């Protein structure tokens, strides 16, 4: 799939083809014809992970993640859906609070495609409490306070890895000069 540029096919940078949305939709339709789990994997990797990093990430985030995700060397997941509210951002309970230049995430996400195999998670949280604005954060696998568990015994999409994400005082660097942690940061409009 990476050799055919199926990951991030609508992005025109980093050697990707920059296809329009109709072409992207046709790709997804053809993948769906074969297996819905496969289509889910590719659409999450492309539209829900690569696109927000490309659109809202820093240059360092883009340079780190887009090439790896495009080549399939890294897998991403998109953490919006929650156990009690589904994909309703208005009912979101996951929160982020700022601590110095860092952010601290607390909450849970459910039914997350690629969640327990992802190298990076695009996670959405309310800032400053339950009535605050929603912001996106990049969280690397292995970050302290971040854990995953796979949903088992699904009735459909069994070829798709579907997981729960949990955040317990998960610290995300807000600013960093460390190459090791530069891929975990807040996503903000450029």
Q: CB 107: neighbour CB atoms within 10 A?
A: 21
Q: pLDDT value at position 122?
A: 97
Reported as a single tens digit per residue, the pLDDT across 112-129 is 999 999 999 999 999 987
Give tens-digit pLDDT for 39-95. 999 999 999 999 999 999 999 999 999 999 999 999 999 999 999 878 888 889 999
Distance of CA 19 to the CA centre of its chain: 21
pTM (two decimals): 0.88
82, 109 contact by CB (below 8 A): yes
119/151 Cα distance (integer angstroms) = 18
Neighbouring CB atoms inside 10 A of 168's CB total 13
CA 89, 69, 27, 122: dihedral to nearest 10 degrees?
0
CATH class belonging to 76-187: mainly beta
pLDDT of residue 157: 65
**For residue 22, how many other CB atoms are within 10 A of its CB?**
8
- Delimit the domains of the chain by residue range: 76-187
Nearest of 52, 81, 88, 82 to residue 185 by alpha carbon: 52
């Amino acid at each position: 799939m990476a050799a055919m540029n199926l990951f991030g096919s609508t992005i025109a940078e980093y050697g990707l083809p920059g296809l329009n949305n109709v072409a992207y939709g046709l790709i997804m339709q053809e993948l769906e014809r074969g297996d819905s789990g496969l289509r889910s994997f590719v659409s999450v990797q492309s539209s829900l992970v690569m696109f927000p990093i490309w659109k809202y990430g820093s240059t360092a985030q883009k340079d780190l993640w887009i090439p790896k995700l495009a080549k399939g060397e890294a897998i991403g997941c998109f953490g919006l859906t929650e156990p009690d509210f589904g994909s309703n951002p208005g009912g979101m309970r996951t929160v982020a609070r700022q601590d110095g230049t860092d952010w601290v995430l607390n909450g849970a996400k459910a039914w997350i495609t690629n969640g327990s195999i992802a190298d990076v998670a695009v996670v959405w949280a309310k800032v400053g409490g339950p009535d605050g604005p929603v912001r996106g954060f990049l969280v690397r696998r292995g970050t302290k306070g971040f854990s995953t568990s796979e949903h088992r015994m699904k009735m459909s999409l069994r070829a798709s890895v579907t997981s729960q994400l949990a955040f317990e005082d998960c610290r995300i660097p807000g600013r960093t000069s460390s190459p090791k942690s530069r891929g975990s940061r807040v996503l903000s409009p450029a």
